[in-house]
Amino acid sequence: MPLLEDLPPLAGRRVLVRADLNVPLRTGSGGQREVADDFRIRAAVPTLRWLVDQGATVTVCSHLGRPKGVPDPATDLQPVRARLAELVPEVRLLDNLRWDPGEEAGDEAFVRRLVDGQDAYVNDAFGASHRAHASIVGPPRLLPAAAGRLLAKEVQVLGGLLAAPARPFVAVVGGAKVADKLGVLRSLLQVVDRLVVGGGMAFTFLAAKGIGVGASLVDPARLEECRVLLEEAGDRLVVPEDVVCLSPEGTLADGGPGSGRTMVASAVPEGWRGLDIGPATAARFAACLAEARTVFWNGPMGVFEDERFAAGTRAVAEAVAACPGHSVVGGGDSAAALDRLGLQDRVGFVSTGGGASLELLEHGDLPGLAALRQASNAPARR
C-alpha cells in the first residue's frame, strides 16, 4: 500500500483527503447539533497536520449518517466542521458525500467532480474502507494516492492479529445481529484459541443448542449454521451459561426509565427476553480474558444503554482493560462503552472502524485498501 511518503512533493499542491468523520451527534443545551464523541475527528488529525506541514492545500471529505443521496439538515457536517476547525484550522471540509447519490453508487462522474483540481488523494477513512463507494475506490484510479497515518496503523494492528498473534488469542464478539457476524466468527475460529460470544447474537446459538430463549432475539434462518459452528469448534466456542431477562410486559429504558421485572436464568422463560449475559457468564468470560496474551473485542454483551442490562458489557470492558496482553477493540459500540467507563486509555488499540475492522478480519482485505494498491504510485507498480 502506498504511504504518505510515496506521494510526489506536496508543497503548493492540492490534496483530497477521505476521512471517516461519521461521528455521533447530540442536541446541545441551546438546541444546536453538536459532536457527542470526537474520537474519529481526533484520529484524523495526524495525517491532516502532516499534509499541511508539507505545504499542501487540504480538502477533506466524509459521509455522515445515511442520508440516501439527498441533502438533509439532520446529516449536515457543520458540527463536525466546527470541531475539526478547532483541531486543524487550515483545512476545508466538503459537504456530506452521501448527499449525492453518486457516492454510494460509485459513480464515475461523481469521482471526477471530487478529484477536479486536486493533485493527490489520501485515504484515511479506515471506518469506511469496507464500502466500495466513489470517494473510497475512485480517486486512486485518477491521482497519485496514499494511505493516511490512521489507515496504515489500523491495517498494521488488525492485520497483525491474523498474522502472528501472541497466544492464547481470545476474541469476544457481541452485538445484536448474528447474520452480520457469522462470516467473521468463522474466520476468527481459524486463528483464535477461544471465541467468546455474547450479546443478542448469542441467543441464536443458545436456541441451536436447544436451550430455552423465550422471546429473545433469534434468527431462525441461522440456527443450522450456528449448530454446525458449535459442533466444529467444540469448547473453543464459548456461549453464555446464564442471562439477565426482562419480564414479558417490560420495556427498555430509552432516555427515560425502563419498566418490568428482571431475573437471572440459565434458560429464558416463555415470553421473557434475554438482554444481557448473566454474572456467571461474565465471570467465565473474564477468566478467558485474564489468561489471554492477545485480545480482540467487538460488540456489546447486552443492551447496555439500559443500566439493568449494562453489567455484562462493563465486565467485559474491565476484563479487556485488565488483560496484560495486547488488546484491540473494534470501534462502534464497544469503543463507546469503553469511553463511558473511562477505560479507553487502558486498552492497546481502539479501532475507529466497527464494520470495517470485522470485514478486514473476515476477508483479510477491504475495497479501499485494494484500490490504494492499484494506484499508479504504489511501490510495487512503480
Alpha-carbon distance of 41 to 130, in angstroms, equals 19
Considering only CA atoms, which of 69, 62, 138 is closest in space to residue 98?
A: 69
Considering only CA atoms, which of 247, 335, 244, 323 is closest in space to residue 286?
A: 323
- Give the shortest CB-213-to-ligand 3PG separation in angstroms: 28
Q: Does 44 bind ligand 3PG (CB under 6 A)?
A: no
- The size of the interface with Mg ion (CB under 5 A), counted in residues, is 1
Q: Nearer to ligand 3PG by C-beta: 178 or 192?
A: 178
- The size of the interface with ligand 3PG (CB under 6 A), counted in residues, is 8
Q: Does 181 bind ligand 3PG (CB under 6 A)?
A: no
Q: Which of 10, 13, 16, 22 binds ligand 3PG (CB under 6 A)?
A: 22
Q: Does 312 bind Mg ion (CB under 5 A)?
A: no
3-state SS, 146-187, equals EECHHHHHHHHHHHHHHHCCCCCEEEEECCCCHHHHHHHHHH
- Give the shortest CB-128-to-ligand 3PG separation in angstroms: 5
Q: Which of 2, 67, 79, 127 binds ligand 3PG (CB under 6 A)?
A: 127
Of 164-172, 215-223, 258-266, 355-363: span binding Mg ion (CB under 5 A):
355-363
40: annotated active-site residue? yes
- Give the shortest CB-22-to-Mg ion separation in angstroms: 8
Non-local CB neighbours of 148 within 8 Å, separated by 6+ positions: 4, 17, 19, 44, 46, 47, 122, 123, 124
Q: Nearer to Mg ion by C-beta: 40 or 314?
A: 40
Non-local CB neighbours of 324 within 8 Å, separated by 6+ positions: 293
Element (H, E) at 195: strand 194-197
Q: Does 131 bind ligand 3PG (CB under 6 A)?
A: yes
Q: Nearer to ligand 3PG by C-beta: 258 or 354?
A: 354
- Give the shortest CB-298-to-ligand 3PG separation in angstroms: 12
323 three-class SS = coil
DSSP label of 95: S
Q: Which of 148, 199, 200, 332 is catalytic?
A: 332
111 three-class SS = helix
Q: Which of 18, 40, 149, 284 is catalytic?
A: 40
- In sequence order, what are the beta bridge partners of 364? none
Of 126-134, 136-144, 232-240, 256-264: span binding ligand 3PG (CB under 6 A):
126-134
355: annotated active-site residue? yes
Alpha-carbon distance of 160 to 217, in angstroms, equals 34
- In sequence order, what are the beta bridge partners of 57? 14
CA Rg, the chain, in Å?
22
Q: Which of 26, 66, 113, 167 binds ligand 3PG (CB under 6 A)?
A: 66
- Give the shortest CB-238-to-ligand 3PG separation in angstroms: 27
33 three-class SS = strand
256: annotated active-site residue? no
348: annotated active-site residue? no
Binding site for ligand 3PG (CB under 6 A): 20, 22, 66, 127-128, 131, 354-355
* Residues marked as catalytic: 40, 177, 332, 355
Contacts with Mg ion by CB under 5 A lie at 355
